[in-house]
A and B are shown apart, each in its own frame.
Chain A
Amino acid sequence: MKSFKDKVAAITGAASGMGRTLAVELARRGCHLALSDVNETELVRTAELASAHGVRVTLRRLDVANRADVFAWADEVVRDHGRVNLVFNNAGVALTVPVEHARIDDFEWIMGINFWGVVHGTQAFLPHLKASGDGHVVNTSSLFGLMAIPTQGTYNATKFAVRGFTEALRMELEMEGACVSATCVHPGGIATNIAMAGKVDPAMERLTGATIEQHKRRANKMISTTTAESAALQILAGVERNARRVLVGPDARFLDKLVRLLGARYQALVIRQMRKLNRRKAS
């Protein structure tokens, strides 16, 4: 995809964060939009911001974990816009809990949105992207899809899964000579509401002595490396140059290199940093 002008893009999780900034930036470049999210109130706000640029915007309240709903939405998008060129499987949530204490319903909740949401979005839209003659699948993994972090085991599992799924898809499309491509996005810390809106398991309170609220605030402080606006620009630049992997933010670019340099030994470094951080908080 060289230009987004007069294309049609579907974005999940468009009510906030990178979903919203992607929507606004695409609208600014003349791309028509089909937006979805579970939060309808904020979704309407995104639509207002985007339609100020004079593009056609359609909305749908959607839980990406619901396969039938995602397929129905894909058909609806093609009905409303005539075609669809891009799908941004962007919706994602956070869960902080050690693996030992992870409750299965929480695990299924985050898997449903972060992983199955991406799978459903990809499979529902792929035939339509092929029919458009010029299509692109953009799946959001994470820096934590490249490296693991203690207490993020469930989140890591969803994001590593998205990466494997998307990289395989990309190769399949290339081997097939399809007019559709795929890009896997790995954002580092982006200033969005993912930490505040995410879940922290009560087990964390017992283990660290800090309240859930404190955990969320700490995480929120740590992810403010890159603005969501800048993230959208970096993602769209990656789609334009048909990148296989887009690393968003200096932290993602640095840690990706570090992990590749150290191999599995990066874990020792993470442990040392976590201990240092915990000591600082305790004192």
Chain B
Amino acid sequence: MSIQSVLTNLVLRWQFKRGSRGPLNVAAARHKVDQLARRYPPPPASVRHTPVPADPARGLCPAEWLSVAAPKRTVLYFHGGGYFFCSLATHRPTCAYLARTAEARVLSVDYRMAPEHTCPAAVDDALAWWKALLTDGTKPEDVVFAGDSAGGGLALATLVAARDAGLPLPAGAVLFSPWCDLSCSGDTMQTQAKADVMFNPHLLPEAAALYLAGRPATDPLASPLFADLQGLPPLMIHASRHEILLADSTRLHDRASVQGVRSELHLKSRMPHVWPTMLMLPEARRTLADCGRWIAQRTEAARPGARPLS
């Protein structure tokens, strides 16, 4: 565990966890992360940043490309934020880093969020972008989905929705601490409540209620943990052993494995929720490098004529 992660844990515990002891405040949370994102440096010169405005004619929400000069593959990225906060800007550095490690062009999707737009608006937006990529000639075997937290859940829900719609599926999905059970029934919600440096457990059901807007929390579009996972492409899951959402990752891995989906579970101790997105941590940079390699391997392996991985 690096000195950076020790310090980050302390700051998160003081700023994030202590500051969110009361009821959920959507406006305050959005304001805080937007202020923070303003201070992020722009993407490095080797990564081109291209905003894409919404295209109501094709039903597309806004998005942005972060691409290396000669991308070999595509990553469709969904940012986290409990389906109600965070934005393209907050996750731009992470997407730019992933673009470099995966030698890819990353499309980060600005899907509609709660409380203004409720489930399944986010899944509709994600699926619309997947269809658009396919229509524009992107080969599904050259694409990997990725997402963190709610974005990880959204990536998984989009895989399920795409399979059910009979669309081709990408070569895999990389999920950082995915939030895939909005009923918050994982045992680590209680057992890791003290150890988690970011979340007070009471906030998650509140955020879930905003997004669900009366839908059952076990609806597979909102909580893809409960979906039929058969036929999904390989998953690479990263989570912390000390976060309340740990059980979402472990249960997803176990369910996927039992249903014949190739899944890798990578756990690290004493790290904050979605730590791979925190680029100041050496652990995050290492993990994003691992993810880049995995994405490259998956897309190579999925190409027609490629030897199947043992």
Contact = CB atoms under 8 A, between A and B. Distances in A.
A274 to B, nearest CB: 40
Contacts of B264: 133-134, 179
Interface string A122-157: 000001000111100000000000000000000000
Contact of B254 (A5, A177, A179, A242): A5
A177 B266 CA distance: 8
B265 A133 contact: yes
A134 B266 CA distance: 7
B250 A2 contact: yes
Given A177-B266, A177-B290, A132 B254 contact: no
A5 B251 CA distance: 10
A235 B152 CA distance: 33
Interface in B215-267: 241, 246-247, 250, 253-254, 257-258, 262-267
A3 interface: yes
Given A133-B257, A177-B287, A242-B267, A2 B262 contact: no
B269 interface: yes
A272 interface: no
Interface string B258-297: 1000111111010000000000000000110010000000
A43 B257 CA distance: 29
A5 B247 CA distance: 12
Interface residues of A, number: 16
Nearest to B286: A177
Given A83-B257, A134-B253, A179 B241 contact: no
B267 A2 contact: yes
Contacts of B241: 2, 241-242
Nearest to A179: B264
Nearest to A175: B286
A6 B254 contact: yes
Interface string A103-127: 0000000000000000000000001
Interface in A1-16: 1-3, 5-7
A45 B286 CA distance: 47
Contacts of B257: 83, 132-134
A130 to B, nearest CB: 8
A133 B310 CA distance: 13
A241 B267 CA distance: 10
A183 to B, nearest CB: 13
A79 to B, nearest CB: 15
The 7 tightest CB contacts between A and B, nearest first, are: A177-B290, A134-B265, A133-B264, A179-B264, A133-B263, A2-B250, A179-B266
Given A6-B258, A177-B286, A242-B267, 17 more contacts: A2-B188, A2-B241, A2-B247, A2-B250, A5-B254, A7-B254, A83-B257, A127-B310, A131-B310, A132-B257, A133-B262, A133-B264, A133-B265, A134-B264, A134-B265, A177-B266, A242-B269
Interface of B: 188, 241, 246-247, 250, 253-254, 257-258, 262-267, 269, 286-287, 290, 310
